[in-house]
Amino acid sequence: MPGITREEVAHLARLARLELTSEELDHFAGQLDDIINAVARVADVATEDVPPTSHPLPLTNVMRPDEVRPSLTAEQALSGAPAQEQQRFKVPQILGEE
Amino acid sequence: MSDLIRLTAAELAARVADGSVSAVEVTEAHLARVDAVDEKVHAFLHVDREGALAQARAVDDRRAAGEPLGPLAGVPLALKDIFTTEGVPTTAGSRILEGWIPPYDATVTRRLKEAGVVILGKTNMDEFAMGSSTENSAYGPTGNPWDLTRVPGGSGGGSSAALAAFQAPLAIGTDTGGSVRQPAAVTGTVGVKPTYGGVSRYGMIAFSSSLDQAGPCARTVLDAALLHEVIGGHDPLDSTSIDAPVPPVVEAARNGTARGLRVGVIREFGGEGFQDGVMRRFGEAVELLTTLGAEVTEVSCPSFESALAAYYLIAPSECSSNLARFDAMRYGLRIGDDGARAADEVTSLTREAGFGAEVKRRIMLGTYALSSGYYDAYYGSAQKARTLVVRDFARAFSQVDVLVAPTTPTTAFAIGERADDPMAMYRADLCTIPVSLAGNAALSLPCGLAPEDGLPVGLQIIAPAMADDRLYRVGAAVETAFAARWGHSLLEEAPAL
């Protein structure tokens, strides 16, 4: 399997919303390459006939009654917000100006 | 040193219940110990002195009023900083949550409070539970009370160190790939990873949701069982919590025996990378099981060879998704919001400033493993490897009642030794990861000191899912036999702090 390049790490960092420094890109590229080479061995045992396991419990669709229950007040829910206004989370602009 | 801090949780609860000591006195003795040694150990990120004393007073009031007390009422506990605590700071060891005060209690927190357990404070941990040494905490490392220049394991190193330093007789950890068992092993304490779904994850900050499991930590097997019973059981707020009674763990811990038990030694754990002294003490523990009447055989689990690789794809994949919630919008740190920058730039700057190196590595590794074109080769293959691990356990448990292995390949390593070598750090979880992938239960307890460095070695006992009581039945028998051989508990050999 191909190794991971500095450019790929920069791309991953953008996807993962991490504003990495140039030094970090150099450092992480080598380390991620080592890790990926070490973990790639799982492909050797993953033959066609083996089904995947995503979870240890065979649960599907755990339901609860559809009823009103006590919950956090707006004040509690907003208590950790970096900024708030009129009982809402205040966020930087999401859409462009134009 | 006050005698109270040397007592077990069971002994303390009995004394509080019969009135020979008050819960406030017990709490004050432990807070005094924290004051005396935590500057050196750094097990705690936050000590909730007033909250602890208020909880202790409430227990004393209930007793004075003649109300019944639970089996751990008035006993102090150190809570891993990954559980939300209403009104008390919760950081998960991360800068991104510095100063965050949760508006609600985790189910584990609530059950502890309802049982009258006294929460002394929040313990140090690898950031978001990612690590095996507690060095990845944004707030500095924790020292191993056996040797302060060594790590106390991780991610729950603060909890295990608090026990070994006699700052608390009980602690709570979380185990995703070994974060309860590995710290227990390297500090000479007891740690249990219950069956996946045995303890609620509600209010436990998520790392890898198909693996994360809270568990009890203590200095004795019985104390761990008492705590297991308090925190375990179904919770409608966690849809993956098992809707069945908690296995009879306390009854098992009170009636330890290994007679007639079929014990399987996992052949794959040994050889290169395993410290001689660890294997020697492990071998002695296996011999001890034979003398206790167990029938010991060797069992092969070939898939365990690829379990570490599967884990380091599955856990980072789930973490990259779970940690997307730290977006600088609803809670925690926000960096660069100058009115000009757009939301996604603020998110990226905040995550860059708020996450440490290991968390960034794992988020990127997970993002890579889940990305289109690589998904089948990495995440898909890891899920298949996980199936093979589940099958190996099923085959092994058709032949034996419990499996045993060393908990860790080596004793506690030096602080800094593996800090910038991720693969070396990951290998600390080699023996604990298969259990996490399969979701069954395991316990680590001390089985001696390695002759070459005088540091604790852990024996790992593994049981099938929902047979957690077997861990305690065997563990209690082994603990009693070792105590008889040594003439004391292992922690009495730890150096004075």
CB B240 within 8 A of CB A57: yes
The closest CB to that of B342, out of A32, A64, A94, belongs to A94
pLDDT tens digits, one per residue of B101-152? 999 999 999 999 999 999 999 999 999 999 999 999 999 999 999 999 999 9
Whether residues A56 and B100 touch (CB distance < 8 A) is answered with no
For residue A60, being part of any structural domain is answered with no
**Cβ–Cβ contact B196 with A under 8 A:** yes
Distance CA B16, CA B14 (A): 5
Domains, in order of start, for chain B: 3-302+387-493 (3.90.1300.10), 307-380 (no CATH)
pLDDT tens digits, one per residue of B185-201? 999 999 999 999 999 99
Selected residue of A1, A17, A64, A79 to mutate for chain B interface (largest B Cβ count, 10 A)? A17
Chain B neighbours among A 9-28 (CB < 8 Å)?
9, 12-21, 24, 28
Owning domain of residue A17: 1-45
For residue A98, being part of any structural domain is answered with no
For residue A21, being part of any structural domain is answered with yes
Chain B neighbours among A 79-98 (CB < 8 Å)?
79-83, 89, 91-94, 96
Number of domains observed in the structure of chain A: 1
CATH number for the domain that contains residue A28: 1.10.20.60
pLDDT tens digits, one per residue of B77-111? 999 999 999 999 999 999 999 999 999 999 999 99
Q: What is the ipTM of this complex?
A: 0.94
- Residue B321 amino acid letter: S
Which residues in chain B have Cβ-Cβ distances shorter than 8 Å to A37? none
Selected residue of A14, A18, A26, A97 to mutate for chain B interface (largest B Cβ count, 10 A)? A18
Q: What confidence score (pLDDT) does residue A95 get? A: 79
3-state secondary structure chain A: CCCCCHHHHHHHHHHCCCCCCHHHHHHHHHHHHHHHHHHCCHHHHCCCCCCCCCCCCCCCCCCCCCCCCCCCCHHHHCCCCCCEECCEECCCCCCCCC
Whether residues A57 and B240 touch (CB distance < 8 A) is answered with yes
For residue A68, being part of any structural domain is answered with no
For residue A3, being part of any structural domain is answered with yes
For residue A4, being part of any structural domain is answered with yes
For residue A64, being part of any structural domain is answered with no
Q: Residue B332 — pLDDT band, cuts 50, 70, 90? A: very high
Over range B344-348, report the average pLDDT.
96
pLDDT tens digits, one per residue of B283-320? 999 999 999 999 999 999 999 999 999 999 999 999 99
For residue A97, being part of any structural domain is answered with no
| Residues of B forming the active site | 80, 155, 179
CB B183 within 8 A of CB B192: no
Whether residues A19 and B349 touch (CB distance < 8 A) is answered with yes
**Cβ–Cβ contact B333 with A under 8 A:** yes
Q: What confidence score (pLDDT) does residue B98 get? A: 97
CB B387 within 8 A of CB B161: no
Find all residues with CB under 8 Å of B86, minimum gap 6, and list them.
Answer: B102, B103, B104, B105, B109
